[in-house]
Chain A
Protein backbone atom coordinates (compact mmCIF):
# COMPACT_ATOMS: atom_id res chain seq x y z
CA UNK A 1 0.00 0.00 0.00
CA UNK A 2 2.70 2.45 1.05
CA UNK A 3 4.88 1.32 -1.86
CA UNK A 4 2.00 1.83 -4.25
CA UNK A 5 1.37 5.30 -2.87
CA UNK A 6 5.02 6.23 -3.25
CA UNK A 7 4.97 4.85 -6.78
CA UNK A 8 1.91 6.90 -7.75
CA UNK A 9 3.20 10.14 -6.26
CA UNK A 10 6.56 9.54 -7.87
CA UNK A 11 5.17 8.87 -11.33
CA UNK A 12 2.42 11.48 -11.36
CA UNK A 13 2.48 15.10 -10.31
CA UNK A 14 -0.60 14.99 -8.14
CA UNK A 15 0.26 18.23 -6.37
CA UNK A 16 0.56 20.14 -9.66
CA UNK A 17 -2.86 18.87 -10.77
CA UNK A 18 -4.44 19.95 -7.50
CA UNK A 19 -2.71 23.31 -7.85
CA UNK A 20 -4.60 23.82 -11.13
CA UNK A 21 -7.78 22.85 -9.26
CA UNK A 22 -7.01 25.46 -6.61
CA UNK A 23 -6.39 28.12 -9.28
CA UNK A 24 -9.65 27.27 -11.00
CA UNK A 25 -11.54 27.32 -7.72
CA UNK A 26 -10.05 30.56 -6.38
CA UNK A 27 -10.32 32.54 -9.61
CA UNK A 28 -13.85 31.28 -10.22
CA UNK A 29 -14.81 32.05 -6.62
CA UNK A 30 -13.65 35.65 -6.96
CA UNK A 31 -15.46 36.03 -10.26
CA UNK A 32 -18.61 34.41 -8.92
CA UNK A 33 -18.71 36.64 -5.86
CA UNK A 34 -18.39 39.74 -8.01
CA UNK A 35 -20.85 38.71 -10.71
CA UNK A 36 -23.21 37.08 -8.19
CA UNK A 37 -23.30 40.29 -6.17
CA UNK A 38 -23.99 42.28 -9.31
CA UNK A 39 -26.84 39.90 -10.16
CA UNK A 40 -28.25 40.23 -6.65
CA UNK A 41 -28.09 44.02 -6.97
CA UNK A 42 -29.98 43.78 -10.26
CA UNK A 43 -32.59 41.50 -8.71
CA UNK A 44 -33.43 44.03 -6.00
CA UNK A 45 -32.93 47.11 -8.15
CA UNK A 46 -35.81 49.49 -8.87
CA UNK A 47 -35.22 49.20 -12.63
CA UNK A 48 -37.62 46.60 -14.10
CA UNK A 49 -35.38 45.70 -17.06
CA UNK A 50 -32.49 44.84 -14.72
CA UNK A 51 -34.71 42.74 -12.48
CA UNK A 52 -36.02 40.97 -15.56
CA UNK A 53 -32.56 40.33 -16.99
CA UNK A 54 -31.26 38.93 -13.71
CA UNK A 55 -34.29 36.69 -13.23
CA UNK A 56 -34.09 35.29 -16.76
CA UNK A 57 -30.31 34.85 -16.56
CA UNK A 58 -30.46 33.00 -13.26
CA UNK A 59 -33.30 30.72 -14.24
CA UNK A 60 -31.66 29.89 -17.54
CA UNK A 61 -28.13 29.28 -16.29
CA UNK A 62 -28.94 27.70 -12.93
CA UNK A 63 -31.10 25.07 -14.59
CA UNK A 64 -28.51 24.14 -17.22
CA UNK A 65 -26.14 21.30 -16.30
CA UNK A 66 -22.63 22.64 -15.70
CA UNK A 67 -21.23 20.10 -18.14
CA UNK A 68 -23.37 21.60 -20.89
CA UNK A 69 -22.20 25.10 -19.96
CA UNK A 70 -18.50 24.15 -20.00
CA UNK A 71 -18.57 21.95 -23.07
CA UNK A 72 -20.77 24.60 -24.69
CA UNK A 73 -18.24 27.31 -23.89
CA UNK A 74 -15.40 25.33 -25.42
CA UNK A 75 -17.19 23.92 -28.44
CA UNK A 76 -19.54 26.84 -28.98
CA UNK A 77 -17.65 29.95 -27.95
CA UNK A 78 -14.17 28.86 -28.90
CA UNK A 79 -14.43 26.27 -31.67
CA UNK A 80 -17.46 27.69 -33.45
CA UNK A 81 -17.45 31.40 -32.71
CA UNK A 82 -13.72 31.86 -32.18
CA UNK A 83 -13.86 33.43 -28.72
CA UNK A 84 -10.42 32.93 -27.17
CA UNK A 85 -10.45 35.38 -24.22
CA UNK A 86 -6.99 36.51 -25.33
CA UNK A 87 -5.57 33.03 -24.83
CA UNK A 88 -3.12 31.81 -27.47
CA UNK A 89 -2.62 28.13 -26.73
CA UNK A 90 -5.70 25.94 -26.76
CA UNK A 91 -4.99 24.97 -23.16
CA UNK A 92 -5.01 28.64 -22.11
CA UNK A 93 -8.23 29.27 -23.99
CA UNK A 94 -9.93 26.32 -22.33
CA UNK A 95 -8.67 27.27 -18.87
CA UNK A 96 -10.14 30.74 -19.27
CA UNK A 97 -13.36 29.42 -20.74
CA UNK A 98 -13.63 27.00 -17.82
CA UNK A 99 -13.40 29.92 -15.40
CA UNK A 100 -15.94 31.84 -17.46
CA UNK A 101 -18.34 28.90 -17.37
CA UNK A 102 -17.81 28.24 -13.66
CA UNK A 103 -18.36 31.92 -12.86
CA UNK A 104 -21.48 32.10 -15.02
CA UNK A 105 -22.89 29.07 -13.24
CA UNK A 106 -21.77 29.60 -9.65
CA UNK A 107 -22.76 33.27 -9.59
CA UNK A 108 -26.42 32.18 -9.80
CA UNK A 109 -26.05 30.40 -6.49
CA UNK A 110 -24.09 33.26 -4.95
CA UNK A 111 -26.87 35.62 -6.06
CA UNK A 112 -29.64 33.50 -4.61
CA UNK A 113 -27.79 33.07 -1.29
CA UNK A 114 -27.24 36.80 -1.13
CA UNK A 115 -30.84 37.51 -1.95
CA UNK A 116 -31.98 35.40 0.97
CA UNK A 117 -29.44 37.32 3.06
CA UNK A 118 -30.88 40.62 1.83
CA UNK A 119 -34.30 39.44 2.99
CA UNK A 120 -32.95 39.01 6.52
CA UNK A 121 -31.85 42.66 6.65
CA UNK A 122 -34.58 44.68 8.35
CA UNK A 123 -36.38 47.00 5.94
CA UNK A 124 -35.81 49.86 8.41
CA UNK A 125 -32.07 49.68 7.71
CA UNK A 126 -32.59 50.61 4.09
CA UNK A 127 -35.22 53.20 4.98
CA UNK A 128 -32.90 54.90 7.44
CA UNK A 129 -30.16 54.96 4.83
CA UNK A 130 -32.49 56.39 2.19
CA UNK A 131 -33.77 58.98 4.66
CA UNK A 132 -30.18 60.15 5.12
CA UNK A 133 -29.90 60.84 1.40
CA UNK A 134 -27.88 57.80 0.33
CA UNK A 135 -28.56 56.71 -3.25
CA UNK A 136 -29.57 53.20 -4.30
CA UNK A 137 -26.01 52.05 -4.83
CA UNK A 138 -24.88 53.38 -1.46
CA UNK A 139 -27.85 51.90 0.38
CA UNK A 140 -27.10 48.53 -1.17
CA UNK A 141 -23.32 48.69 -1.01
CA UNK A 142 -22.88 50.31 2.41
CA UNK A 143 -25.85 49.09 4.40
CA UNK A 144 -27.76 46.16 2.94
CA UNK A 145 -25.10 43.98 1.28
CA UNK A 146 -22.55 44.12 4.13
CA UNK A 147 -25.22 42.86 6.50
CA UNK A 148 -26.58 40.37 3.97
CA UNK A 149 -23.07 38.93 3.40
CA UNK A 150 -22.54 38.45 7.11
CA UNK A 151 -25.71 36.45 7.41
CA UNK A 152 -25.04 34.17 4.44
CA UNK A 153 -21.40 33.22 4.96
CA UNK A 154 -22.56 29.71 5.90
CA UNK A 155 -24.56 29.17 2.69
CA UNK A 156 -21.79 30.85 0.68
CA UNK A 157 -19.29 28.37 2.10
CA UNK A 158 -21.48 25.57 0.72
CA UNK A 159 -21.53 27.31 -2.65
CA UNK A 160 -17.72 27.60 -2.66
CA UNK A 161 -17.28 23.97 -1.65
CA UNK A 162 -19.63 22.93 -4.45
CA UNK A 163 -17.61 25.15 -6.79
CA UNK A 164 -14.36 23.45 -5.77
CA UNK A 165 -15.82 20.07 -6.60
CA UNK A 166 -17.44 21.36 -9.78
CA UNK A 167 -13.99 22.31 -11.12
CA UNK A 168 -13.55 18.60 -11.92
CA UNK A 169 -15.94 19.07 -14.83
CA UNK A 170 -13.33 21.32 -16.45
CA UNK A 171 -11.45 18.09 -17.25
CA UNK A 172 -14.04 17.62 -19.99
CA UNK A 173 -12.67 20.67 -21.80
CA UNK A 174 -8.99 19.98 -21.51
CA UNK A 175 -8.10 21.68 -18.25
CA UNK A 176 -5.34 19.68 -16.61
CA UNK A 177 -6.78 19.77 -13.09
CA UNK A 178 -7.11 16.97 -10.56
CA UNK A 179 -9.88 15.03 -12.27
CA UNK A 180 -7.98 15.02 -15.56
CA UNK A 181 -4.94 13.52 -13.86
CA UNK A 182 -7.20 11.04 -12.12
CA UNK A 183 -8.47 9.91 -15.53
CA UNK A 184 -4.89 9.45 -16.72
CA UNK A 185 -3.97 7.48 -13.61
CA UNK A 186 -7.04 5.30 -13.88
CA UNK A 187 -6.22 4.67 -17.54
CA UNK A 188 -2.66 3.62 -16.76
CA UNK A 189 -2.98 2.08 -13.33
CA UNK A 190 -6.33 0.36 -13.45
CA UNK A 191 -4.97 -2.19 -10.98
CA UNK A 192 -4.60 0.60 -8.38
CA UNK A 193 -8.06 1.98 -9.07
CA UNK A 194 -9.09 2.00 -5.42
CA UNK A 195 -5.96 3.75 -4.22
CA UNK A 196 -6.19 6.36 -6.98
CA UNK A 197 -9.78 7.07 -6.00
CA UNK A 198 -8.81 7.43 -2.36
CA UNK A 199 -6.00 9.87 -3.21
CA UNK A 200 -8.35 12.15 -5.10
CA UNK A 201 -11.20 11.87 -2.64
CA UNK A 202 -8.80 12.78 0.15
CA UNK A 203 -7.34 15.61 -1.95
CA UNK A 204 -10.74 17.23 -2.32
CA UNK A 205 -11.60 16.81 1.34
CA UNK A 206 -8.25 18.41 2.11
CA UNK A 207 -9.20 21.41 -0.04
CA UNK A 208 -12.83 21.81 1.01
CA UNK A 209 -12.77 20.96 4.71
CA UNK A 210 -10.72 24.02 5.72
CA UNK A 211 -12.93 26.23 3.53
CA UNK A 212 -15.95 25.14 5.53
CA UNK A 213 -14.22 25.41 8.90
CA UNK A 214 -12.65 28.81 8.27
CA UNK A 215 -15.82 30.33 6.85
CA UNK A 216 -17.85 28.86 9.72
CA UNK A 217 -15.51 30.62 12.13
CA UNK A 218 -15.65 33.87 10.14
CA UNK A 219 -19.43 33.66 10.05
CA UNK A 220 -19.58 33.55 13.86
CA UNK A 221 -17.00 36.29 14.11
CA UNK A 222 -18.76 38.84 11.93
CA UNK A 223 -22.37 37.95 12.69
CA UNK A 224 -24.48 41.11 12.99
CA UNK A 225 -25.94 41.47 16.43
CA UNK A 226 -29.52 42.60 16.47
Chain B
Protein backbone atom coordinates (compact mmCIF):
# COMPACT_ATOMS: atom_id res chain seq x y z
CA UNK B 1 0.00 0.00 0.00
CA UNK B 2 2.76 2.43 0.84
CA UNK B 3 4.39 1.53 -2.44
CA UNK B 4 1.17 2.27 -4.27
CA UNK B 5 0.57 5.65 -2.76
CA UNK B 6 4.16 6.83 -2.51
CA UNK B 7 4.12 8.09 -6.04
CA UNK B 8 1.12 10.34 -5.40
CA UNK B 9 1.53 13.77 -3.83
CA UNK B 10 0.83 13.89 -0.11
CA UNK B 11 -1.46 16.89 -0.59
CA UNK B 12 -2.98 17.93 -3.87
CA UNK B 13 -5.40 20.85 -4.29
CA UNK B 14 -7.16 21.45 -7.59
CA UNK B 15 -9.27 24.50 -8.41
CA UNK B 16 -10.23 25.06 -4.78
CA UNK B 17 -12.60 27.95 -4.11
CA UNK B 18 -14.03 29.07 -0.79
CA UNK B 19 -16.41 31.86 0.11
CA UNK B 20 -17.40 33.37 3.45
CA UNK B 21 -20.67 34.92 2.35
CA UNK B 22 -19.69 37.30 -0.43
CA UNK B 23 -16.04 37.22 0.51
CA UNK B 24 -13.95 35.08 -1.84
CA UNK B 25 -11.26 33.81 0.52
CA UNK B 26 -9.68 31.05 -1.63
CA UNK B 27 -9.43 31.68 -5.37
CA UNK B 28 -8.69 28.79 -7.73
CA UNK B 29 -6.01 27.28 -5.53
CA UNK B 30 -3.82 24.64 -7.20
CA UNK B 31 -0.75 23.03 -5.67
CA UNK B 32 0.87 19.73 -4.78
CA UNK B 33 2.99 18.85 -1.76
CA UNK B 34 5.21 15.82 -2.36
CA UNK B 35 5.96 13.33 0.36
CA UNK B 36 8.60 14.53 2.84
CA UNK B 37 8.44 18.17 1.80
CA UNK B 38 8.22 21.03 4.32
CA UNK B 39 6.07 23.84 2.93
CA UNK B 40 5.81 27.18 4.68
CA UNK B 41 2.86 29.36 3.77
CA UNK B 42 3.48 33.06 4.24
CA UNK B 43 1.24 36.02 3.68
CA UNK B 44 -0.42 39.00 5.29
CA UNK B 45 -3.38 38.52 7.63
CA UNK B 46 -6.58 37.80 5.79
CA UNK B 47 -4.77 36.33 2.82
CA UNK B 48 -6.58 32.99 3.29
CA UNK B 49 -3.59 30.94 4.45
CA UNK B 50 -5.23 29.71 7.68
CA UNK B 51 -8.41 28.87 5.81
CA UNK B 52 -6.38 26.86 3.32
CA UNK B 53 -4.67 24.99 6.13
CA UNK B 54 -8.00 24.16 7.76
CA UNK B 55 -9.55 23.19 4.41
CA UNK B 56 -7.03 20.40 3.97
CA UNK B 57 -8.65 18.27 6.71
CA UNK B 58 -12.06 19.79 6.06
CA UNK B 59 -12.41 21.74 9.29
CA UNK B 60 -13.47 24.34 6.72
CA UNK B 61 -15.50 22.80 3.88
CA UNK B 62 -14.72 24.31 0.48
CA UNK B 63 -17.29 25.49 -2.05
CA UNK B 64 -15.69 23.98 -5.12
CA UNK B 65 -12.58 22.13 -6.20
CA UNK B 66 -11.01 18.91 -5.02
CA UNK B 67 -8.43 18.20 -2.33
CA UNK B 68 -6.55 14.89 -2.27
CA UNK B 69 -4.58 13.66 0.71
CA UNK B 70 -2.19 10.80 0.02
CA UNK B 71 -3.93 10.10 -3.27
CA UNK B 72 -7.42 9.93 -1.81
CA UNK B 73 -10.10 12.51 -2.34
CA UNK B 74 -11.19 14.24 0.84
CA UNK B 75 -14.43 12.53 1.96
CA UNK B 76 -17.46 14.75 2.59
CA UNK B 77 -18.23 13.49 6.10
CA UNK B 78 -18.73 10.46 8.31
CA UNK B 79 -16.35 7.62 9.06
CA UNK B 80 -14.16 8.13 6.00
CA UNK B 81 -13.56 11.77 6.90
CA UNK B 82 -12.72 10.86 10.49
CA UNK B 83 -10.30 8.21 9.22
CA UNK B 84 -8.59 10.74 6.97
CA UNK B 85 -8.30 13.28 9.75
CA UNK B 86 -6.66 10.65 11.92
CA UNK B 87 -3.87 10.56 9.35
CA UNK B 88 -3.47 14.34 9.18
CA UNK B 89 -1.93 15.89 12.29
CA UNK B 90 -3.17 19.37 13.15
CA UNK B 91 -1.61 21.94 15.46
CA UNK B 92 -3.67 25.03 16.26
CA UNK B 93 -2.73 28.57 17.11
CA UNK B 94 -4.54 28.33 20.45
CA UNK B 95 -3.23 24.80 21.28
CA UNK B 96 -6.76 23.48 22.00
CA UNK B 97 -5.56 20.90 24.50
CA UNK B 98 -8.53 19.19 26.18
CA UNK B 99 -8.94 21.26 29.30
CA UNK B 100 -10.40 18.48 31.46
CA UNK B 101 -7.69 15.91 30.75
CA UNK B 102 -4.09 15.66 31.87
CA UNK B 103 -1.32 16.13 29.34
CA UNK B 104 -0.66 12.42 28.98
CA UNK B 105 -4.39 11.73 28.66
CA UNK B 106 -4.58 14.36 25.93
CA UNK B 107 -1.87 12.53 24.03
CA UNK B 108 -3.34 9.05 24.63
CA UNK B 109 -6.98 9.82 23.88
CA UNK B 110 -7.04 9.48 20.10
CA UNK B 111 -4.69 6.44 19.94
CA UNK B 112 -7.02 4.71 22.43
CA UNK B 113 -10.34 5.74 20.94
CA UNK B 114 -9.52 5.99 17.22
CA UNK B 115 -6.62 3.62 16.75
CA UNK B 116 -7.97 1.25 19.42
CA UNK B 117 -4.54 0.82 20.95
CA UNK B 118 -4.15 -0.94 24.28
CA UNK B 119 -3.73 1.35 27.23
CA UNK B 120 -0.17 0.40 28.32
CA UNK B 121 1.02 0.63 24.74
CA UNK B 122 -0.64 4.01 24.19
CA UNK B 123 0.74 5.30 27.44
CA UNK B 124 4.26 4.19 26.63
CA UNK B 125 4.31 5.86 23.24
CA UNK B 126 2.65 8.97 24.71
CA UNK B 127 5.43 9.24 27.28
CA UNK B 128 8.06 8.76 24.56
CA UNK B 129 6.51 11.59 22.55
CA UNK B 130 6.37 13.86 25.58
CA UNK B 131 10.01 13.03 26.21
CA UNK B 132 10.79 13.94 22.64
CA UNK B 133 9.14 17.38 22.94
CA UNK B 134 10.78 17.85 26.33
CA UNK B 135 7.80 17.89 28.72
CA UNK B 136 7.70 14.33 30.07
CA UNK B 137 7.88 15.77 33.58
CA UNK B 138 4.61 17.66 33.02
CA UNK B 139 2.63 14.60 31.92
CA UNK B 140 0.24 14.43 34.89
CA UNK B 141 -0.60 18.14 34.92
CA UNK B 142 -3.64 19.79 33.39
CA UNK B 143 -3.18 22.09 30.39
CA UNK B 144 -3.96 25.25 32.37
CA UNK B 145 -0.98 24.49 34.63
CA UNK B 146 1.50 24.64 31.73
CA UNK B 147 3.08 27.60 29.95
CA UNK B 148 1.99 28.36 26.39
CA UNK B 149 5.16 26.90 24.91
CA UNK B 150 4.75 23.70 26.91
CA UNK B 151 1.10 23.46 25.90
CA UNK B 152 1.95 23.84 22.22
CA UNK B 153 4.65 21.18 22.48
CA UNK B 154 2.09 18.91 24.15
CA UNK B 155 -0.31 19.64 21.29
CA UNK B 156 2.36 18.62 18.80
CA UNK B 157 2.95 15.40 20.76
CA UNK B 158 -0.81 14.78 20.72
CA UNK B 159 -0.90 15.12 16.93
CA UNK B 160 2.20 12.94 16.48
CA UNK B 161 0.69 10.20 18.64
CA UNK B 162 -1.58 9.32 15.71
CA UNK B 163 1.52 8.69 13.56
CA UNK B 164 0.18 11.08 10.92
CA UNK B 165 1.28 11.08 7.30
CA UNK B 166 1.38 14.84 7.24
CA UNK B 167 1.41 17.58 9.88
CA UNK B 168 -0.53 20.81 9.49
CA UNK B 169 0.50 23.81 11.59
CA UNK B 170 -1.89 26.76 11.76
CA UNK B 171 0.22 29.67 13.09
CA UNK B 172 1.60 27.53 15.91
CA UNK B 173 3.62 30.30 17.55
CA UNK B 174 1.34 33.30 17.10
CA UNK B 175 -0.30 32.97 20.51
CA UNK B 176 2.96 32.50 22.37
CA UNK B 177 5.03 34.92 24.42
CA UNK B 178 8.24 35.71 22.48
CA UNK B 179 10.50 33.78 24.84
CA UNK B 180 8.53 30.59 24.21
CA UNK B 181 8.52 30.72 20.43
CA UNK B 182 11.94 29.10 20.00
CA UNK B 183 11.19 25.97 22.02
CA UNK B 184 8.24 25.21 19.75
CA UNK B 185 10.19 26.00 16.58
CA UNK B 186 12.97 23.68 17.73
CA UNK B 187 10.51 20.81 18.00
CA UNK B 188 9.19 21.61 14.54
CA UNK B 189 12.69 21.87 13.07
CA UNK B 190 13.60 18.45 14.44
CA UNK B 191 10.41 17.05 12.98
CA UNK B 192 11.32 18.50 9.58
CA UNK B 193 14.77 16.94 9.79
CA UNK B 194 13.20 13.55 10.46
CA UNK B 195 11.45 13.72 7.10
CA UNK B 196 7.89 14.54 8.14
CA UNK B 197 5.70 16.11 5.47
CA UNK B 198 4.74 19.47 6.90
CA UNK B 199 2.39 22.27 5.87
CA UNK B 200 3.15 25.27 8.08
CA UNK B 201 1.26 28.54 8.15
CA UNK B 202 3.44 30.96 10.08
CA UNK B 203 5.00 34.38 10.38
CA UNK B 204 8.35 32.97 11.49
CA UNK B 205 10.73 33.91 8.70
CA UNK B 206 13.66 32.29 10.48
CA UNK B 207 11.91 28.94 10.49
CA UNK B 208 11.01 29.36 6.82
CA UNK B 209 14.65 30.02 5.86
CA UNK B 210 16.06 27.31 8.05
CA UNK B 211 13.68 24.38 7.78
CA UNK B 212 11.45 24.85 4.74
CA UNK B 213 12.01 23.30 1.35
CA UNK B 214 9.48 25.57 -0.25
CA UNK B 215 7.62 28.80 0.39
CA UNK B 216 4.11 29.56 -0.82
CA UNK B 217 3.22 33.23 -0.58
CA UNK B 218 -0.50 33.99 -0.42
CA UNK B 219 -2.32 37.28 -0.78
CA UNK B 220 -6.02 38.01 -1.26
CA UNK B 221 -6.90 34.33 -1.50
CA UNK B 222 -4.39 33.50 -4.21
CA UNK B 223 -1.02 31.77 -4.25
CA UNK B 224 1.10 34.58 -5.61
CA UNK B 225 4.55 32.97 -5.39
CA UNK B 226 5.57 29.34 -5.00
CA UNK B 227 9.34 28.88 -4.84
CA UNK B 228 12.36 27.99 -2.66
CA UNK B 229 12.94 29.99 0.54
CA UNK B 230 16.22 31.44 -0.78
CA UNK B 231 14.62 32.57 -3.98
CA UNK B 232 11.62 34.04 -2.18
CA UNK B 233 13.56 36.00 0.40
CA UNK B 234 16.33 37.23 -1.91
CA UNK B 235 14.42 37.66 -5.11
CA UNK B 236 10.66 38.18 -4.67
CA UNK B 237 8.97 38.67 -8.01
CA UNK B 238 5.56 40.15 -7.20
CA UNK B 239 4.91 43.60 -5.78
CA UNK B 240 2.77 42.16 -3.03
CA UNK B 241 5.59 39.85 -1.90
CA UNK B 242 8.09 42.70 -1.99
CA UNK B 243 5.72 44.88 0.01
CA UNK B 244 5.14 42.08 2.54
CA UNK B 245 8.84 41.36 2.97
CA UNK B 246 9.76 45.02 3.34
CA UNK B 247 7.24 45.39 6.18
CA UNK B 248 8.41 42.22 7.91
CA UNK B 249 12.12 42.77 7.58
CA UNK B 250 12.15 46.41 8.70
CA UNK B 251 10.66 45.23 11.99
Q: Establish whether residues B142 and A225, one from each chain, have CB atoms under 8 Å apart when the complex forms.
A: yes
Q: Which of B104-155 contact A (CB under 8 A)?
A: 109-110, 113-114, 142, 144-145, 155
Known: A125-B99, A128-B98, A130-B59. A135 touches B79 (CB 8 A): yes
Kindly state whether residue A21 has any CB partner on chain B within 8 Å: no
Kindly state whether residue A224 has any CB partner on chain B within 8 Å: yes
Report B-chain residues with C-beta under 8 Å of the C-beta of A189: none
CB of B87, distance to nearest CB on chain A (Å)? 8
Alpha-carbon gap, A150 to B99, bound state (A): 11
Kindly state whether residue A11 has any CB partner on chain B within 8 Å: no
Report A-chain residues with C-beta under 8 Å of the C-beta of B6: none
Q: Which of A191-220 contact B (CB under 8 A)?
A: none
Q: Establish whether residues A131 and B99, one from each chain, have CB atoms under 8 Å apart when the complex forms.
A: no
Alpha-carbon gap, A46 to B82, bound state (A): 15
Q: Establish whether residues B100 and A150, one from each chain, have CB atoms under 8 Å apart when the complex forms.
A: yes
Which of B57, B82, B100, B142 has the largest count of A CB atoms less than 10 A from its CB? B100
Alpha-carbon gap, A125 to B77, bound state (A): 19
Which of B59, B90, B113 has the largest count of A CB atoms less than 10 A from its CB? B113
Report A-chain residues with C-beta under 8 Å of the C-beta of B159: 131-132
Report B-chain residues with C-beta under 8 Å of the C-beta of A134: 82, 109-110, 113-114
Report A-chain residues with C-beta under 8 Å of the C-beta of B155: 128
Known: A125-B99, A224-B99, A226-B99. A131 touches B144 (CB 8 A): no
Q: Which of A134-180 contact B (CB under 8 A)?
A: 134-135, 138, 142-143, 146-147, 150
Q: Establish whether residues A125 and B110, one from each chain, have CB atoms under 8 Å apart when the complex forms.
A: no
**Count of A residues near B, CB < 8 Å?**
22
Kindly state whether residue A4 has any CB partner on chain B within 8 Å: no
Alpha-carbon gap, A135 to B162, bound state (A): 15
Instruction: Using CB atoms, name the residue of chain A closest to B83.
Output: A133
Against B, the Cβ 8 Å flags (1 = close, 0 = not) of A107-129 are 00000000000000010110111
How many residue pairs, one in A and one in B, have C-beta atoms under 8 Å apart?
A: 72
Q: Establish whether residues B96 and A142, one from each chain, have CB atoms under 8 Å apart when the complex forms.
A: no
Known: A134-B113, A138-B113, A226-B99. A127 touches B59 (CB 8 A): yes
Q: Which of B60-117 contact A (CB under 8 A)?
A: 77, 79, 82-88, 90, 92, 94, 96-100, 109-110, 113-114
Report A-chain residues with C-beta under 8 Å of the C-beta of B110: 132-134
Q: Establish whether residues A143 and B98, one from each chain, have CB atoms under 8 Å apart when the complex forms.
A: yes
Known: A133-B82, A133-B85, A133-B114. A146 touches B100 (CB 8 A): yes
CB of B84, distance to nearest CB on chain A (Å)? 8
Report B-chain residues with C-beta under 8 Å of the C-beta of A129: 98
Kindly state whether residue B214 has any CB partner on chain A within 8 Å: no
Chain B contact-residue range equals: 20 to 34
Instruction: Using CB atoms, name the residue of chain A closest to B145.
Output: A225
Which of B87, B98, B145 has the largest count of A CB atoms less than 10 A from its CB? B98
Report A-chain residues with C-beta under 8 Å of the C-beta of B88: 131
Instruction: Using CB atoms, name the residue of chain A closest to B77.
Output: A46
Q: Establish whether residues A128 and B162, one from each chain, have CB atoms under 8 Å apart when the complex forms.
A: no
Q: Establish whether residues B114 and A125, one from each chain, have CB atoms under 8 Å apart when the complex forms.
A: no
Contact of B96 among A128, A133, A138, A147 (CB under 8 A): A128
Report A-chain residues with C-beta under 8 Å of the C-beta of B83: 133
Alpha-carbon gap, A225 to B101, bound state (A): 10
Contact of A127 among B92, B109, B142, B144 (CB under 8 A): B92
Q: Which 10 A-B pairs have the closest CB atoms?
A: A133-B86, A128-B96, A225-B144, A131-B90, A132-B110, A124-B96, A133-B114, A133-B85, A224-B99, A133-B82
Given A132-B86, A132-B109, A142-B113, 7 further pairs, Cβ under 8 A: A130-B59, A132-B159, A132-B162, A134-B82, A134-B113, A150-B100, A226-B144
18 contacts between A and B (CB under 8 A): A122-B96, A125-B98, A127-B92, A127-B96, A128-B92, A128-B155, A130-B82, A131-B59, A131-B88, A131-B92, A131-B159, A132-B85, A132-B114, A133-B82, A133-B87, A134-B114, A142-B113, A225-B145
Interface residues of B (CB under 8 A from A): 57, 59, 77, 79, 82-88, 90, 92, 94, 96-100, 109-110, 113-114, 142, 144-145, 155, 158-159, 162
